[in-house]
Amino acid sequence: MDRNRLKHQVASMRSSLFDQGYLDEPFIQLEELQDDDNPNFVQEIVTLFYTDSARLIQNIEHALNSRRIDFDKLDDYMHQFKGSSSSIGAKKVTNECTVFREYCSAENAEGCIRSFQQVKQEYAILRRKLEVYLQMVRQAAVSRTT
Amino acid sequence: MNSSIGKAYMSTASSSAGRKAGDAAAAAAAAADQFPAGLRVLVVDDDPTCLMILEKMLRTCLYEVTKCNRAETALSMLRENKNGFDVVISDVHMPDMDGFKLLEHIGLEMDLPVIMMSADDGKHVVMKGVTHGACDYLIKPVRIEALKNIWQHVVRKRKNEWKDFEQSGSVEEGDRQLKQSEDADYSSSANEGNWKSSKRRKDDEDETDERDDTSSLKKPRVVWSVELHQQFVAAVNQLGIDKAVPKKILELMNVPGLTRENVASHLQKYRLYLRRLSGVSQHPGNLNNSFMSPQEATFGPLSSLSGLDLQTLAATGQLPAQSLVTLQSSGLGRPTGKSGIPMPLIDQRNIFSFENPKLRFGEGQQQHVNNNKQMNLLHGIPTTMEPKQLAGLHHGAQSMGNMNMQVASHGSQSSQNNPLLMQMAQPQARGQMLNDSSLGHAPRLLSPMGQPMLSNGIAANVPTRNGIQENIRAPSYNPVPQTSSMLNFPMNHASELPGNSYPLGSTPGISSLTPKVAFREDVNSDIKGSVGFLPSYDIFNDLDHHKPQNWELQNVGMTFDASQHSNSLQGNLNHAQSVLVQQGFSSGQMNGQNRSATVVSKTMFSSGDSTGHVNAQNGNQPLNSLLVDGTVRVKSETPTNLYPDDFGQEDLMSALLKQQDVIAPAEHEFDFDGYSLDNIPV
């Protein structure tokens, strides 16, 4: 595909990610950190985020499924998850994490379970969108101007 | 854990400087020119995403970055390469070790500036960073702009150390002169302004610099290497934490060139550290075990002072009174230890005024609790502090920690100074909360060491903020933001100290006197030259309820007004310097106090249990007579009401003495055990 067109699409998608609140300022920082020394920096970070998130999500699931919920531990996991999602600028995900933590501190198991569903959902949506977006970015980078 | 080291930038800089040519000097010069490029940063975070982002950001700032995902690993790296890093950035929340623990370790062992970070921006957590000595606190997600300026903490710390070093001269000779010059240095702080100037007027001030970053240690800074610290810990363990006296530790360590004062100050920090550990021991996974690597040797029994930290912190003036109260109520509670570090209830109404310039306080030694305990905190501090003075005291975050009270150990006039005094790093409080890098590391200095335990309702108003600046000579530690005001006074009463800016409430259940000790800031630990010091301690004593307070004047370095007593303690206080920790009081008010009679007392208040006792040194000797000898002995007496105003020296003294009578031997777990005030000859 024409490079310019690709670039245009990339820009457009990027804007909408920000406009719709999926991404936030820290993501821009990531983009700015990308340079010749680390040409795939954003992708690397995002991949790292996926891996780490998968682990945390699993831990949270497990903790929520236990007979006696350990809210401290839950909060701990979610604190970590929130930390990493906020550092990549995953705005919606981070917000859902905040809601979860509120339920957690109130020791509201049901609230935690419900809000965790929201967290997972937002995470899944963001992940899909980012994957599409970054793929487009890669394509634009390697494409030639026709 | 990836310990990649970004050499790229550094190499570029170096190579251009001619490193290829093997010209190390040129390389160094080039590096210096490039500063802050090449700043060696160690970043610790268990979150891999954040860690990678930070690493990249730091590299972009041209720093030389080493990343680490575990606190223990970071600590070993730091230990292996003590001088390999300039600054550490650490997350608060880590699975293997609490970030604050790591912070303390670094402060104790390496004395590097540490920046904390967390997604948690709650006031409490941030405050914790402050009190534990972090030089900065970043909220995640961290922006690169926040990292661009971290070099300032390195520079600041170096600057403080340099000053420190400059001022530390040979132990004895230069002291006097140094003190003088230090005093001169002091005038910078607004808080201390008046006080300092008045202090300066007195020629013989012994101690200075509380507020200043530079501890007024006269001695060259001692760097506590891992090995040295291990030797220290081994010696302490061998002696038993309760019996570990600096002198004995020193002997056991057998390190040439190490002085008792060095050991004393380090011991103080160590104790604080232990207290902290015990305070957090409930915190899962938090204990030192995780990082107590084999090389560390056990830190010894953890005291169960939960509130100790807080107190110390408060005392250093880092904590605003309100925060302190909040923190206290949040669960620090009373220490469970026997001597329990009392919550630093600083009863504002209790102000100690020390009229008597010559106070010799025996060191609070547990062993000698009964009579030697010196904590006679405030004894001898003759000046009455008017409430407004107190108010004045409290500004500036001066850590009170440095109350140097010469605590003369009664009957054991050893030559040792209260090592604690040494330790008190001057709290930087220049009205700052511990952000000062200098403070950063040694908040713990607040150590109870030398904190007088106020007994019976004697509130020592230890202005935490005011800067009790002690010029503690903490050779290797920067001023510790000791919450001097927080001196743990197991005060039973909670009296309001008028004008006290530290409204440290009494901990529930502890009616403690808020010790308001107005200490002159520039406590020169060097009593030798002691010359009029100042601190006027007003002893406010709600004697009505006073319960025996545990007064331990650990390091009471009192600088006595030379004018008053020509045979001032100087003789006794030869090493007082280190001991004298002056509580930085905003001294303006102090000035009014009897200068002549003021004793610069750096009292370290140690928390004692409610049965606190002031270990009076001697029997009830009238102050005057004590003064005559140049030693003041505080004896425990039934507490009498002390009123801050218009207390004549004698009156105060006797009041103090009386109070001490009732004070039972303090068994404080803290601190001052075994500290003998050597310098005050009995």
Which residues, in sequence order, are bridge partners of residue B116? B90, B137
Neighbour order of strands in the sheet with B87-91? B64-68, B40-44, B87-91, B114-118, B136-139
Shortest alpha-carbon distance between residue B7 and chain A (Å)? 13
State yes or no: pLDDT of B679 exceeds 50: no
Shortest alpha-carbon distance between residue A2 and chain B (Å)? 32
Shortest alpha-carbon distance between residue B350 and chain A (Å)? 40
The highest-confidence range among A59-68, B241-250, B662-671, by mean pLDDT, is A59-68
| Coil/strand/helix, residue B435 | coil
Cis peptide bond N-terminal to B36, omega within 30 = yes
Instruction: Look at B119 and A83 and tell me if their CB atoms are within 8 Å.
Output: yes
d(CA B438, CA B442): 8
Report CA-CA distances (Å) from B345 to A105, B120, B307.
Answer: 30, 28, 10
d(CA B486, CA B452): 11
Query: For B343-376, what is the HEC assignment?
Result: CCCCCCECEECCCCCCCCCCCCCCCCHHHHCCCC
d(CA B470, CA B208): 7
Give the pLDDT band (50/70/90) at residue B221. low
- Using the 8-state DSSP alphabet, how is residue B186 labeled? H
Q: Region B270-287: what's the mean pLDDT?
A: 63
Q: Region A110-118: what's the mean pLDDT?
A: 95
| Tokens read off for B246 | 């600096």
Give the pLDDT band (50/70/90) at residue A78. very high
pLDDT computed for residue A88 by the predictor: 95
> Phi-psi region for residue B648, left (φ > 0), alpha (ψ -120 to 50) or beta?
beta
pLDDT computed for residue B227 by the predictor: 81
State yes or no: pLDDT of B43 exceeds 90: yes
**Which residues of chain A make contact with B52, given a CB cutoff of 8 A?**
44-45, 48
Terminal Cα-to-Cα distance of chain A (whole angstroms): 8
| Mutation choice for A interface testing from B7, B44, B51, B53 by most A CBs within 10 A | B53
pLDDT computed for residue A95 by the predictor: 95
| Tokens read off for B405 | 């009270």
Output Rg (C-alpha) for chain B, integer angstroms: 22
Q: Which chain A residue is nearest to residue B52, measuring alpha carbons?
A: A45
d(CA A137, CA B444): 52
State yes or no: pLDDT of B113 exceeds 80: yes
d(CA B130, CA B148): 21
**Which residues of chain B make contact with A83, given a CB cutoff of 8 A?**
47, 50, 93, 119, 140
Q: Give the up-direction half-sphere exposure of residue A38: CA atoms within 13 A in the CB hemisphere.
A: 17
pLDDT computed for residue B341 by the predictor: 40
Pairing verdict, β B540-541 and B458-459: antiparallel
| Tokens read off for B317 | 């003036």
Q: Region B167-196: what's the mean pLDDT?
A: 46
> Phi-psi region for residue B380, left (φ > 0), alpha (ψ -120 to 50) or beta?
left
Shortest alpha-carbon distance between residue A84 and chain B (Å)? 6
The highest-confidence range among B135-149, B252-266, B486-500, by mean pLDDT, is B135-149
State yes or no: pLDDT of B278 exceeds 90: no
Give the pLDDT band (50/70/90) at residue B264. confident
pLDDT computed for residue A145 by the predictor: 63
List, in order, residues 6 or more apart from B678 with CB less than 8 Å away.
B247, B260, B363, B409, B413, B414, B415, B416, B417, B418, B575
Q: Region B601-612: what's the mean pLDDT?
A: 38
**Which residues of chain B make contact with A31, given a CB cutoff of 8 A?**
none
Q: Which of B60, B93, B119 lies closest to A86 in CB terms?
A: B119
Instruction: Look at A38 and B143 and tell me if their CB atoms are within 8 Å.
Output: no
**Which residues of chain A make contact with B120, given a CB cutoff of 8 A?**
79
Q: Find, among B482, B580, B485, the residue nearest to B531 by Cα.
A: B580
State yes or no: pLDDT of B190 exceeds 50: no
Helices B260-280 & B226-239 angle (0-180, nearest 10) = 80
State yes or no: pLDDT of B313 exceeds 80: no
Instruction: Look at B49 and A41 and tell me if their CB atoms are within 8 Å.
Output: no
d(CA B45, CA B585): 39
B370-394: per-residue pLDDT in tens? 444 444 444 444 444 444 444 444 4
Query: For B610-666, what is the HEC assignment?
Result: CCCCECCCCCCCCHHHHHHHCCCCCCCCCCCCECCCCCCHHHHHHHHHHHHHHCCCC
Percent of chain B whose predicted confidence (pLDDT) is above 70: 28
State yes or no: pLDDT of B85 exceeds 90: yes
Q: Which of B8, B60, B140 lies closest to A87 in CB terms?
A: B140
Q: Find, among B392, B391, B448, the residue nearest to B418 by Cα.
A: B448
- Let me know: does B557 contact B601? Beta carbons within 8 Å: yes
Give the pLDDT band (50/70/90) at residue A142. confident
- Let me know: does B411 contact B371? Beta carbons within 8 Å: yes
- Under 8 Å CB pairs connecting chains A and B tally to 61
The residue that leads in pLDDT, B284 or A17, is: A17
Q: Which chain A residue is nearest to residue B6, measuring alpha carbons?
A: A37
Q: Give the up-direction half-sphere exposure of residue B91: CA atoms within 13 A in the CB hemisphere.
A: 29
pLDDT computed for residue A41 by the predictor: 95
Helices B260-280 & B307-315 angle (0-180, nearest 10) = 130
B630-669: per-residue pLDDT in tens? 343 434 444 444 444 444 455 555 554 555 444 444 444 4
Q: What is the DSSP code string of B495-520? A: -BPTT-S--PPPPTT------EE---
Instruction: Look at A30 and B53 and tell me if their CB atoms are within 8 Å.
Output: yes
Q: What is the DSSP code string of A64-122? A: HHSSS--HHHHHHHHHHHHHHHHHTTBHHHHHHHHHHHHHHHTT-HHHHHHHHHHHHHH
- Let me know: does B669 contact B606? Beta carbons within 8 Å: no
Instruction: Give me chain B's average pLDDT, please.
Output: 55
Q: Give the up-direction half-sphere exposure of residue B335: CA atoms within 13 A in the CB hemisphere.
A: 39
Within B433-570, residue ranges assigned H as helices are: 437-440
| Coil/strand/helix, residue B577 | helix
State yes or no: pLDDT of B118 exceeds 80: yes
Exposure pattern of B152-180 as b/e (b: 16+ CB <10 Å)? ebbebbeebbebbeebbbebeeebbebbb
- Which residue type, as a one-letter code, is found at position B8? A
Q: Please tell me the CATH superfamily of domain A3-29+44-145, with its number.
A: HPT domain (1.20.120.160)
Instruction: Look at A87 and B48 and tell me if their CB atoms are within 8 Å.
Output: no
Pairing verdict, β B458-459 and B516-517: unpaired
Q: Is 0.80 surpassed by the pTM of this model?
A: no
Q: Find, among B398, B303, B352, B309, the residue nearest to B669 by Cα.
A: B303
The highest-confidence range among A9-23, B498-512, B611-625, by mean pLDDT, is A9-23
Percent of chain B whose predicted confidence (pLDDT) is above 90: 15
The highest-confidence range among A28-42, B168-182, B250-264, B289-303, by mean pLDDT, is A28-42
Q: Find, among B412, B436, B469, B643, the residue nearest to B540 by Cα.
A: B643
Which residues, in sequence order, are bridge partners of residue B349? B496
pLDDT computed for residue A28 by the predictor: 96
B575-599: per-residue pLDDT in tens? 434 333 333 333 334 343 344 333 3
Q: With residue B44 as reference, give the H or E element that holds it.
A: strand B40-44
State yes or no: pLDDT of B83 exceeds 50: yes
**Which residues of chain A make contact with B50, given a CB cutoff of 8 A?**
83-84, 87
Q: Region A68-78: what's the mean pLDDT?
A: 92
Exposure pattern of B408-437 as b/e (b: 16+ CB <10 Å)? bbbebbbebbbbbbbbbbbbbbbbbbbbbb
Q: Find, among B291, B251, B280, B250, the residue nearest to B267 by Cα.
A: B250
Q: Region B71-88: what's the mean pLDDT?
A: 92
B443-463: per-residue pLDDT in tens? 343 334 434 333 343 333 434
Q: Which of B48, B56, B119 lies closest to A33 in CB terms?
A: B56
CA B509 to chain centre: 26
pLDDT computed for residue B658 by the predictor: 52
pLDDT computed for residue B266 by the predictor: 86
List, in order, residues 6 or more apart from B335 with CB less than 8 Å away.
B275, B303, B304, B305, B306, B307, B308, B341, B342, B343, B607, B669
d(CA B677, CA B61): 49
Give the dihedral sign, CA A93/A94/A95/A98. positive
- Let me know: does B463 contact B485? Beta carbons within 8 Å: yes
Residues belonging to chain B with any Cβ–Cβ distance to chain A shorter than 8 Å: 8, 46-50, 52-53, 56-57, 59-60, 93, 119-120, 140-144
pLDDT computed for residue B350 by the predictor: 42
State yes or no: pLDDT of B158 exceeds 90: no
Q: Region B24-35: what's the mean pLDDT?
A: 72
- Let me know: does B419 contact B250? Beta carbons within 8 Å: no
Give the dihedral sign, CA B565/B570/B572/B578. positive
pLDDT computed for residue B67 by the predictor: 95
d(CA B477, CA B474): 5
| Mutation choice for A interface testing from B49, B60, B65 by most A CBs within 10 A | B49
pLDDT computed for residue B108 by the predictor: 87
Shortest alpha-carbon distance between residue B123 and chain A (Å)? 17
Write down the domain spans for chain A. Answer: 3-29+44-145
Phi, psi (rounded to 5 degrees) for B466: -70, 0
State yes or no: pLDDT of B337 exceeds 90: no
B497-537: per-residue pLDDT in tens? 343 333 433 334 333 334 443 334 443 434 343 333 343 44
- Using the 8-state DSSP alphabet, how is residue B451 labeled? B
Instruction: Look at B50 and A44 and tell me if their CB atoms are within 8 Å.
Output: no
Give the dihedral sign, CA B318/B306/B457/B568. negative
| Coil/strand/helix, residue A135 | helix
Which region among A72-86, B5-19, B448-462 has the lowest average model confidence (pLDDT)?
B448-462
- Using the 8-state DSSP alphabet, how is residue B680 labeled? S
